[in-house]
Structure formats: structure tokens, C-alpha cells
Amino acid sequence: MTQSQSKAQSKAQSQSKPQSQSQSDSPDAPGRAVTARLRGVHKSYGPTRVLDLPELDLYAGQVVGVVGENGAGKSTLMGTLAGSVHRDGGEIEIDGRPLVPGSTAAAQQLGVALVSQEFPLVGQLSVTENLMLGRRPRASRRRFLVDRKAQRAEAAAMLTDIGLPPDSVPLGREVRLLPAPTRQLLEIAKGWGRAPRLLILDEPTSSLGPVEAALVLALARRLADEGGTVLFIGHRLDEVREISDRVLVLRNGRLVADLDRAQADEDRLIREMVGGEISHLAPKEALTEGEVLLGLSQVTADGLGPVDLEIRRGEILGVAGLMGSGRSRLVHTVAGAQPATGGQMVLDGRRYRPRHAMDGVAAGVALIPEDRKEQALVLFAPIKANVTVGVLREISSRGVLRPGRQRAEAQRIAEGVNVRMQSVDQPVGSLSGGNQQRAIFGRAFAAKPKLLLRDAPTRGVDVGAKAEIYELVDRAAAAGTAVLVASSELEELLWICHRIAVMNHGRVVAVLDRAEATKERIMTAAAGTAHDPGPAVDPAGPAEVNPSTEPGTWGAA
Amino acid sequence: MTTHLTRPATGADKPGPAAPGRLRNLTRILVETPEAGIIAACVVVFVSIAANASTYASVGNLQVMGRDLAQVGILAIGESLVILTGGIDLSVGALAGLAGILAAWFNVSAGMPAPLAILLTLLICAVIGWWHGMMVTKLNVPPFVITLVTYTVSIGAALAITGGSPINGIDPLFSNLSAYYVDQVPVPALFFVGAAVIAWFVLERTYVGRQVYAVGGNKEAARLVGIPVARRITATYVASSCLAGVVGILVIGRMNVADPSVGGSGWELTAIAAAVVGGVSLFGGEGRIIGIAAGAILLEFISNGLLALKVSAYDQEMVQGAVLGVAILLDRLRARRFTRVRS
């Protein structure tokens, strides 16, 4: 860190002491009414204090961005306000009325609505029923009987109200049949429909394309203009800066910076979030040496191919492409999770024909799944069980597991990837997100894979944890493992990869060395029909890489 | 609808070939009416057995089936309510047995008038259901465990109360409940229909019922929107236990004696089977009364049909199990065919 930077930072910190801030009123909010007043709110899980806010006021008419690393206390703050987390102590007032701890019903009564990124919708129920969940239509006088007509009318009005074209979402459809972006929009409509005073948006745009994301940002602005308050939690800093009047930075459960819009530039936010500076990795040279580990020739699968591709040992190969380009399919086909229907794969000089993910594992291919909670970890099981699950045979003698040996091996694996933990006996779910991620990598490395596959690695992962993932990927490659990474985030691929394969309609349309790869060239190849990337098209920004369905097609007929 | 039905949720596929309109409509109806298969199965089974056994479709035999249905069907409805919330109630069979004993004991040994005995029995059942709900929602006891406790205790209590011998001389009201006909329809069958209609109405047409689905489908979502999750779950256990009580009372009326060896003879498993065959998901949140009723009817058609076809008593259960297995297999194949596009 340079001297000027550190000076700026210490200045920022002294300036942004929460106490002084809220007593003397934020400069851009003079005399505003306070929507939410928090005093001495704190929450601990075991010995760890995950939230500690001596004093915080949220003003009416503002969009307040909240940023912080995983485990910084963002979710706890939101949950405390929404009543889903039972705070240990402190007072919260919404519009001057006290909020009892730990009751979602009470929070709703006071006008707090939480839109979560986890889509807490009931998949088996219809769109209408989900939108109306837990309440009755305003226009209905029936107390016990469901008034379907009124429900449908109100549900339709809710969707129109957030700016969706009428009939763009089929109201009678079961929610589980709808694509993820539509479900996210429903969740937003659900929160919006409660006419909230304080709307908490938890990474609302992470699963949305640019059209829907713009819609959500417009909603946040609208509520603020109408005198409400929006708490906007985001990982995409540019987006948070764009929408917010004020940005709060949390670190280790504390408010470390309280910035107005002008102060909140990206560098500053990142510095405050990580409490230092993250190292920027230099672009990598293409690997020209090293033997080919995996070769694909004319490989086809459902929605894929034919694909020709080669990966060398120690190489990190990125796979870019729009949604539906076959990016994930390629990874899954190589892993054996999706059967190949034609062509040949050669792994380490041998014919490789996986029928199941099991075959892939046996051949030395490790897939690190997309969703660490659902697909990768048994959260309530101890770290030692989670990290040794792939090497149980190796650490058993004659089929009998030795607890001592398992523990020692787990210790070695976890320390090898710097998992910050108290002991390998604690549940892996008690670790922070970044450390869970490390544990997963540790487990994958323990099986000494020749080829590591990673699909969409960073949804919902913050800046600091991303850097950790990159570092772990680098480490694997340095040890001679070939790494295949599919991602929709171009910066990420440009950051970590030696080469980038661009996919379009199930085929690899370009393979770019890092030196020649630019966002524009990748996008041209990904979006166009030409195999040779021409001059840069109008850069609609990286968001374009994750296009959504057109307006009017949110799962509609 | 085509957009997302032909495109997997991952969005990583090109849209499949569009089906012709009519076929697509049919597909849609099948996807959205999972009960269609089970109802068809009922018809097929009934017709094919009736074609081979002359007595099967006779009024007398239909009346027998109607009475049987009251047992299997009412238990299945109660059981399904619990399963809809993601729980399970293993106690219903044993509790039905105990309820019969209790009602008879109150009536005969304690000398209470029959209506009071019935009321008291149902009240005790309600309390037991409430206790299940409390244990499950407040103390997080797995439903399997707490209802297994009741199962064991109920069987034991029935034996302890009676000393193992049947209670004779119960009030004629009991047998009247079971023996009367309305236009040739046995009263117990009407109980079954009544229970089904009420359950359907509550589940489909009241907020409380829809909230039960929400609780079973996604407990967290239900909690976050302020649905009283614990109360909804507890209510299903109360309903399940009360319906078990009703069945117990109907059974002693039918036999005109309260036999302690009747309860716990695997009725809960039949009830669960009827629910599952009828499309209820053991994970909760899925399944409708029409399917559950059809499931119970199918099981009754089969077990009675085996008698009519004079299948050896020793082979009956095996055949029944096999038929169940095939039914579930077919249902899963159908589900896979029509849900593959979803996942």
C-alpha cells in the first residue's frame, strides 16, 4: 500500500466513525426523517460477534448501499431488520415505532420487506399464490376462504406495478417451472407489493440480465423518491455506486465506513471492505510448452458440439459464452455429469469415456460445483468429514477408517489451503463463505486431480473471496493441474486464464491467447456468427455477456 | 409456456423442437394433473377385475369396499395432511385401535353414554395430535420418532386397558354408525366422502389450507412472509389424530366389539401408501385430495379384487405389494418424462 493511499484510508476511517456521522447528520441528508433507527444492535453466533452497530440511522428518501465481504455482517444486518434473525440486544425503531426482535411478522407490520437472493418462494405453488403468500387480497372481504379472483387481480397488479408487461408471467404456473430470473422478479414483486417503508434488497440483480436489473434499480429509486428507504446489498460495486445515495461498508460485523455517493469510488470501497489492498494479478502469458493433458476431438453432447479443444498441464483455460452457449455443458460433459454422444476425449494419453461423474473422478477429474451449500458441502458435518470424503479409501486400512488418521489428514488438507478454523471438528457450516470455499478446494486437491473443472465460480462471492478463489486456482495450476473454468464474468476469465475459449451455440467459435483476448473480442465472438472476431462491436458492457430473455418473455407462453 | 418448458432452468440448451399444438396441450394437462394417471389406474383395475370376477361389481361387494374405504381412506387423508407439511405420522393405525378401545371402555366400563364416550375419545385424540405438533415444532423432535413413540404406547395402552380381551356390549349407536345405509351407501363410506370433501375444501379454498402447502413446500419462505408455521403444522397433526379416532370408532361399530388386537396392524403403512400412490410427495408441499382419495380407492380395489379373484390368502400381500411397486414405478416414469424438461 502506498503512503498516500494509507493516509487516505486512515482519514476515511476517522471521518466515517459511525457515532460522529449520525449525530451530526450526514451532509447529504440534512433534517431528513429517519426511517430506521438502530441503537446498540448486536448479534453473536457462539463466541463470534457477527454484528455490532452502536448507532446507525437510515434516512427517508435514500437508497443506501451496503457492501462488505462474505461474513462482514450484511446478511445479519438485513435479517435483524427483517426479523428473520433474532438480535441479541439493542433497539431498532422503524418510523419511530419499536421493532421487537426475531419476528418477521412484526417487521412486516412496520413496513420492512426483505427481498432475498435465495428466492424463498414455494415452488409447488402458483405465481399468484406465491405473490399473495401470507396475506389476503386487499380487495377481498373474505376472511377464511380464498378469493381467487381478487388474488389473481392483485397479483397481476403487483407484477404490473414493478414494471413488468401484463401477461408476461403466467399467473397460474407453478413457480418451480419458471426460470431463475423470473423467480427473482417474483420475489421482488412480493416485497414491493407490501408497500414497504424499508425495502431490503439482497443482491437482487445477481441472477438477472441487464433489462431486469435496470427494472430493479428503477424500483429502488422510485421507492426512495416516494419517501421510503432502500437498503441495497450488492457485490457489484459499480451497480451499488450507481444506485446509492449513501454507501455503508461493513467489515467483521462493524460499520467501517459511511460514505456519501461522491466519496464512494470503487478503489475506496474495496479498500474499506478488505481492510487493505488486494493484490492485482498480472495478465498471464500463454503456455506454449507442457504436454497436452486433455484433448477433445469432435465431441458432441446434448446441446453441445462438435467441439475440438486441448488443455495442457498447468494451464488455466477459460470458457466464455452467453447464457445457453453450451459453456456449462462443456464442463459437465468433461466431468462425466452429462453423457457425450459422439467424438473422442483423450485424457493423459488414454481414451476417456466417462458415463458418470464417478468415472471422471476415477480418471483424475475433479469438478468443483457451482453451489457450495447445495452441491458441495454437508454443512452440519464437521470439516474433517467434508474434506476427507474423497480420500476415505486412501486413509483407511483394509476398509476400516482410522479416526486418528482421518483427523490428521483433514488437518493437513485444511491447513494446506489456509482454512481459518478453530478445529477440524467444527461443522463446516460454521465457517465463513470464503473459508468454506477453501475447504472445497482442499478436498478437491486432496484427491490429486489431473484436471480441475470449475463452473460459474463466483455467483454471490465478494471481492475478497474471489481473490482467494483465484489464488487457489493459480496454485492448482502451478502444481501441474490443468484447470477448466467456465464463467460469465469476463474480467474474471481475463484475470486468471492463460487462454480463453469462446462458445456460441454449443461450439467453440474462438480460442484466444491471453495476450490477444480483450472483452470486446470475446464478446464479438460470443454474440456474433463470425468465427473470426472482427473489430470490436459497440461494447454494451460486460452485462451483455449474461443476457436475459427479452422483455415479454419471462416464462410467458 | 413453451419457452421455459423446453428450455432447462440452467438455460444452457437450445429450445427443443416444438410439439404439435394438441399434443402439447395433452402434455400440459398431464403435467399439471398428476392425478390423471392414478384415476385412470382405478378405472382400469376396476374394469379388468370386474370382467374376471362376477361378484366384484355387485352391490354387496361395493358396499363392503365402501366400508373398507372408510378405514384406509380416512386414515390416508389425515396422514396426507401431515405429509403435506413434510412430516409423517406413524401413529394413526395404532391410535385408531386405541381410540376404539377407549370409546368402548368409556361406554361399557365407565358407563358413559355413547355420544359422550365418542366425544371424549376424539378429544383425547386431539390432545395427542397437539402433543405431536408441539414436540415437532417447539422441540424439533423428528415426526418419525415422536409418532413412533405414540404408536408403541397406543398398542400397549389398548392391551393394558382391556387386559388383552375384547370389550363386548357396546352401545348400539356404534354399530348403527357403521351398519346403516343411505340409499344403499354404507354410512362409513359417507364419512370418507365427507372427510375428503372437507379436507379438499380446507386445503384448496381456505387461506389456512394454502398456507399448509406453503409450509410444506418451503418452510423458510412461509416463515419469512409471516405464516404461523408452527400452528399450521400442529393443526395437521391434530387433524390426523382426530381422523384416526373417527376410524377407530367406526371399526368397533363395524365389528360390534372393541378388540385390542385390531389396532396397529399396519394401517398407517397402507395410509402412507395410499397417499404416495395418490401423488403426495414425502418431502411435503405436493399432493391433492383428489389424488389421495383415488390412491385409497385404488388400494381398496386391488385388495378386494384379490379376494374376488380368489387369489390365495398367502399370496395376496405379495401381489398387493407388487401392484403397488408397479404403480409407483409407472408414476415415476411419467413424472420423469414430463419433468425432465424442468430440471
A504 touches chain B (CB under 8 A): no
Query: How confident is the model at residue A63, as a pLDDT?
Result: 93
CATH topology match: A3-274 vs A294-364+450-557: yes
Note which residues in 163-192 of chain A have CB less than 8 A from chain B: 170, 173, 176-180, 182, 190
Q: Strand A292-301 relative to strand A304-312: parallel, antiparallel, unpaired?
A: antiparallel
Distance from CA of B76 to the nearest CA of A (A): 21
In whole angstroms, what is the distance from residue A167 CA to residue A554 CA?
9
Average pLDDT over residues B303-309: 90
Give the model's confidence band at A270: pLDDT under 50 very low, under 70 low, under 90 confident, else very high.
Answer: confident
Best B225, B229, B286, B340 residue to mutate vs chain A (most A CBs within 10 Å): B225
In the predicted structure, residue B282 carries a pLDDT above the cut 70:
yes
A139 touches chain B (CB under 8 A): no
- pLDDT tens column, A168-209: 888 888 888 887 778 888 888 988 888 889 999 988 877 777
- Going from N- to C-terminal start, the domains of chain B cover 35-339
B202 touches chain A (CB under 8 A): no
Q: Which residue has the higher pLDDT, A336 or A434?
A: A336
A157 Cβ contact list (under 8 Å, min separation 6): none
Distance from CA of A124 to the nearest CA of B (A): 6
Q: State which residue of chain A sits closest to B220, comparing Cα positions.
A: A120
B62 Cβ contact list (under 8 Å, min separation 6): none
Our measurement of the distance from residue A129's CA atom to the centroid of its chain's CA atoms, rounded to an integer in Å, reads 27
Query: How confident is the model at residue B294, as a pLDDT?
Result: 93
B146 Cβ contact list (under 8 Å, min separation 6): B132, B135, B136
A121 Cβ contact list (under 8 Å, min separation 6): A130, A175, A183, A186, A187, A190, B218, B221
The architecture (CATH level 2) of A294-364+450-557 comes to 3-Layer(aba) Sandwich (3.40)
In the predicted structure, residue A222 carries a pLDDT above the cut 60:
yes
Q: State which residue of chain B sits closest to A132, comparing Cα positions.
A: B225
CB-based contact B214 A125, cutoff 8 Å = yes
Contacts of B206 in chain A (CB under 8 A): 144-146
Average pLDDT over residues B273-290: 89
pTM, rounded to two decimals: 0.70
> Taking the CA atoms of chain B, what radius of gyration do you get in angstroms?
21
A93 touches chain B (CB under 8 A): no
The DSSP-derived string for B25-87 is HHHHHHHH-THHHHHHHHHHHHHHHHHH-TTTTSHHHHHHHHHHHHHHHHHHHHHHHHHHTT-
- Going from N- to C-terminal start, the domains of chain A cover 3-274, 294-364+450-557, 373-448
3-state SS assignment for residue A260: strand
B312 touches chain A (CB under 8 A): no
Contacts of A135 in chain B (CB under 8 A): 225-226
CB-based contact A133 B3, cutoff 8 Å = no
In whole angstroms, what is the distance from residue B129 CA to residue A286 CA?
68
In whole angstroms, what is the distance from residue B93 CA to residue B280 CA?
19
* C-alpha torsion angle, residues A319, A321, A325, A328 (rounded to 10): 40
In the predicted structure, residue B323 carries a pLDDT above the cut 70:
yes
Contacts of B218 in chain A (CB under 8 A): 120-123
Average pLDDT over residues B100-113: 94
Degrees to nearest 5, angle at CA B74 with B293 and B327: 40
In the predicted structure, residue A322 carries a pLDDT above the cut 90:
no
The architecture (CATH level 2) of A3-274 comes to 3-Layer(aba) Sandwich (3.40)
Q: Which residue has the higher pLDDT, B197 or A369?
A: B197
Note which residues in 441-460 of chain A have CB less than 8 A from chain B: none
Choose among B10, B224, B227: nearest Cβ to A84: B224
Average pLDDT over residues A109-118: 84
CATH 1.10.10 fits B35-339, yes or no: no
- pLDDT tens column, B235-279: 999 999 999 999 999 999 988 889 888 766 788 988 999 998 888
Percent of chain B scoring above 90 in pLDDT: 55
Average pLDDT over residues B305-321: 86
Lowest mean pLDDT among A216-220, A421-425, A500-504, A530-534: A530-534
B104 Cβ contact list (under 8 Å, min separation 6): B117, B167, B170, B174, B252, B257, B258
Query: How confident is the model at residue B249, as a pLDDT?
Result: 94
Query: How confident is the model at residue A28, as a pLDDT?
Result: 47
CB-based contact A120 B210, cutoff 8 Å = no
Mean pLDDT for chain B?
A: 86
A544: left (phi over 0), alpha (psi -120 to 50) or beta: alpha
Query: How confident is the model at residue A4, as a pLDDT?
Result: 45
Residue A8 cell numbers, joined: 487516505
In whole angstroms, what is the distance from residue B145 CA to residue B149 CA?
6
Give the model's confidence band at A16: pLDDT under 50 very low, under 70 low, under 90 confident, else very high.
Answer: very low
Burial class (CB in 10 A: 0-12, 13-18, 19+), A380: exposed
Query: How confident is the model at residue A174, as a pLDDT?
Result: 85
Average pLDDT over residues B16-36: 65
Average pLDDT over residues B279-297: 90
Distance from CA of B221 to the nearest CA of A (A): 4
